Amino acid sequence: MKHLYPGILVVIVPLFFLFEPLLAAPPAVKEGYQYPELLVVPKASQKLASEAKTENKNRFRAHFILQIPAIMTLTSGLGASTMQEAKSKEVGGIATGVGLGWLLTTVGLSMMYTPYSSGHMEVNALADKNLEQTLLKERRAEEALALPAYMMRRIQYISAVTNFGASIAVTSLEEDNEKVKAIAGLAAAAAFLPLIFEHPWITTYDQQQDYKKKIYGPVAQLTMLSQPKTGHLTPGLELSLRF
């Protein structure tokens, strides 16, 4: 039995040198592991520049997922406004205001708010002559991607709650009008579309975060492990996490 270990080593050691380059992680500079913003591909500044190029062309389509429930709520509100009872007209006016308000909000965002273009201009003006400046530039680019996503996550929840509430109020009217209430029911269902289909601002930021997460991971390499009791060296697989 004592002669078994040398025989194993004769077989394992050549395999170790054969497979070690395949299992080991590629070397990286110390600064790279300290600052993952500089390792991610594409970098945040590159992603920001790419989005800025297409933002102007897509600006009036970006909020489409918010406009569908707004149009549905507006339609149900206008329908309720044509009903006979004063209560129905009042509720219809509120629903109309909610739907119209969201339409105007999204059109206003399309016309006046271009986060990627303005963010790209700000980031592009920053110097990147050394590591500190480059790191600052990438972090500001990440902030420019994160801000519209952060804002839109809250907007979509407010949109869902207000459109759903206004539509349900129409369906709950005592006055009977099957057509109007059917439209209001569809509007109530459509209110949750922004929570089902993510806004492009959110998708863009989440995608960049996924790219960043992929630079972390377990690093596997073959090594010789010492047994606690006997002290003999045994071939083994070592896993570690590098950040």
Band of the pLDDT at 39, cuts 50, 70, 90? confident
- Residue 201 tokens read as 């601002």
Give SS3 for 235: strand
Phi and psi angles of residue 87, each rounded to the nearest 5 degrees, phi first: -60, -40
Residue extents of the structural domains in the chain: 1-39+218-243, 40-214
- To the nearest 10°, the Cα dihedral for 94, 97, 100, 105? -120
- pLDDT value at position 227? 65
* Residue 26 DSSP symbol: P
Indicate whether this model's pTM tops 0.85. no
Residues 6+ apart with CB under 8 A from 153: 202
Residues in CB range of 75: below 8 A, 6 or more apart: 99, 183, 187
Give 168: exposed, middle or buried? Use CB within 10 Å, 0-12, 13-18, 19+.
middle
> With pLDDT > 70 as the criterion, what percentage of the chain qualifies?
74
Residue 1 gets which letter from DSSP?
-
Residues present in the chain in total: 243
- pLDDT surpassing 50 at residue 30: no
